Amino acid sequence: MLMRTDPFREMDRIVQQLSGASGTWSKPSVMPMDAYRQGDVYVIAFDLPGVSTEAIDIDVERNMLTVKAERRPAGKSDGVQMELSERPLGVFSRQVVLADALDTEHIEAEYDAGVLTLRIPIAERAKPRKISIGGASGRKQISG
């Protein structure tokens, strides 16, 4: 048997259930994420605990990155009686507008310990370049 000791957590769970916090395909829940730059790579990490890799869909269209995932209830066998169910189920989605400075053709994705990590390289055209000035004619030349 499981004992509940935090009445406020229980109230939060009830409010979430009444407000329809479980995501559906037409109205998915938002998944938490972190985003940061690490050298010449932009990293986005999404929390998706308990979601199988087959239930994760990553899509990029122009500058719009969309991540969708679905967590279904654990398979219940006969004789199992649920005592407590607090983990959110349903569909989760997040859309992120990517800057033009990112190379969306070379996104790498990995999933480990419930965290989906996307690594998006900075496009070559967006990296700093040195501009040299030509000889007597004064023409400028860009080197990359």
Task: State the pLDDT at residue 2.
Answer: 39
- Convert the pLDDT of each residue in 84-127 to its tens digit: 777 778 889 999 999 888 999 999 999 999 999 999 999 877 77
| pLDDT score at 11 | 63
Both structure tokens of 69: 């995932």
Confidence label for 1 from pLDDT (cuts 50, 70 and 90): very low
Cα separations in angstroms, 97 against 2, 11, 118? 43, 35, 14
Instruction: Enter the pTM of the model.
Output: 0.70
Per residue in 3-56, pLDDT (tens digit) is: 445 566 556 556 655 555 566 666 778 888 999 999 999 999 999 998 999 999
CA distances from 61 to 29, 104, 106, 108, 134 (A): 21, 9, 13, 16, 41
> Smallest Cα–Cα separation from 66: which of 78, 58, 54, 76?
58
Tell me the two tokens of residue 27.
């109205």
Q: Which residue has the higher pLDDT, 64 or 142?
A: 64
pLDDT at 144 exceeding the cut of 60: no
Tell me how far the alpha carbon of residue 134 is from its chain's centroid.
46
pLDDT of residue 3: 43
Q: Looking at the DSSP assignment, which residues form a beta bridge with residue 140? A: 133
